[in-house]
Amino acid sequence: MDAVTFELKKTCEKTKARLGKLRTPHGEIETPVFMPVGTQATVKAIKPEELKEMGAYILLSNTYHLFLRPGHQLIKEAGGLHKFMNWDRAILTDSGGFQVFSLGDLRKITEEGVDFRSHIDGSKKFISPEIAIEIQNALGSDIMMAFDECPPYPADRGYVKDSLERTTRWAARCKEAHKTIEKQSIFGIVQGGMYRDLRYESACRITQLDFPGYALGGLSVGEPREIMYEVLDYSADFLPADKPRYLMGVGSPDYLFEGVERGIDMFDCVLPTRIARNGTAMTSKGKVVIKNAVHEKDFDPLDDECGCYTCRNYSRAYLRHLFKANEILSSMLLSHHNLYFLLSLMKKVREAIDKDRFIEFKKAFYDKYGEM
């Protein structure tokens, strides 16, 4: 039996929004869920205990980065990624595909896999579907992702078609290479660019391989948001209802709402921690740019509706001071707040779906949040 299973608990009557539960070897996760990102085996500026306190039950970590540094064999020797980074709840690892393809001129794709140069030291590296699985086996993540090719936007139809053929062959090779399905599960990735028929074809062929979960890849890669929403509109319908659906690399509040409304169960994004380090907070009344002079003598918390550690203990004036003084605590406190904000938002989204109030909740949030 697959290590990771999904239970669909409810589907909204008015939208495609769903409530579900993922069961993994490292605990259960209520969906829809936002997964904080710990690229290099740490969620930047945050301790694991904080993530637990704020209700995170699953993290994402990046295969590409860990492969290059410190190396998957080292993490295996350390007892796996969970132990290495002191996180005993669930972990999803991506396949490294997205990062490798983002290297542009530094990589060369063949049927066998991808030759590329490390962004750290320029050394030659190679990842194939089999190696992506070997790395993720060594890391010991609960959910592994198939090694796919993610076409850029825009990309012509011929390229996208060829690419999805290869992604399909690679998905089969990933499945073949993974021997311990009772310990770790692989999710397949649907590609097809912004072409409806190719999305359909990719979904058919990937789901024929029968993975315990599916991701929609190749979205949020630079296309206008209307196009992404349109692709989401039909793409979710091409996937089986009883398997979890994961929209990769998406984490702004509007994308989360629009994704949930279209039947997506899982999301991840570096956005909350990245903008935190740049001094921006997400609040119930919209974004707060903490360095702005208006906050100089503002002794109120970032968000008076927020119950997080940062909002309970610190004023905007203090946070502004820390940011301007280049203090590490600025990144720590703002990252904490932003992650808490998104995790709490998703909790409220689940409650709203449960009470058949998702559309109303979304509208109220949008009205108050303003521009995304």
Catalytic residues, by residue number, are 94, 268
Q: Is 273 helix (H, G, I), strand (E, B) or coil?
A: helix
Question: What DSSP character marks residue 202?
Answer: H
327 binds its own copies per the rule CB under 8 A: yes
Residue 154 engages its own copies in binding (rule: CB under 8 A): no
Q: Which stretch binds its own copies (CB under 8 A): 158-166, 215-223, 245-253, 321-329?
A: 321-329
Q: Based on the shown chain and the rule CB under 8 A, indicate whether residue 313 belongs to the binding site for its own copies.
A: yes
Report the residue from 6, 67, 84, 214 that binds its own copies according to the rule CB under 8 A.
84
Residue among 99 and 128 whose Cβ is closer to its own copies: 99
Please report whether residue 11 would count as binding its own copies according to CB under 8 A: no
By CB under 8 A, residue 318 contacts its own copies: yes
Cβ neighbour number for residue 237 with a 10 Å cutoff: 14
DSSP string spanning 37-88? Answer: B-TTSS-TT--HHHHHHTT--EEEE-HHHHHHTT-HHHHHHTT-HHHHHT--
Distance set, CA 301 to CA 6, 328, 369 (Å): 38, 19, 17
Instruction: Rule CB under 8 A: say whether 45 interacts with its own copies.
Output: yes
Q: Which stretch binds its own copies (CB under 8 A): 5-13, 84-92, 192-200, 235-243?
A: 84-92
* Distance set, CA 274 to CA 139, 266, 269, 317, 334 (Å): 24, 20, 9, 21, 10
**Residues 6+ positions from 43 with CB-CB distance below 8 Å:** 36, 37, 51, 59, 273, 335, 339
Q: How far apart are the first and last CA of the chain?
A: 42
**Candidate segments 204-212, 233-241, 257-265, 295-303, binder of its own copies by CB under 8 A:** 295-303
Encoded tokens for 16: 């495609």
Q: Mask 249-288, x = binds its own copies (CB under 8 A)? A: ----------------------------------------
Q: Using the rule CB under 8 A, is 46 a contact of its own copies?
A: yes
Binding site for its own copies (CB under 8 A): 40-42, 44-48, 65, 69-70, 74, 77-79, 84-86, 296-297, 299, 313-315, 317-318, 320-322, 324-325, 327-329, 331-332
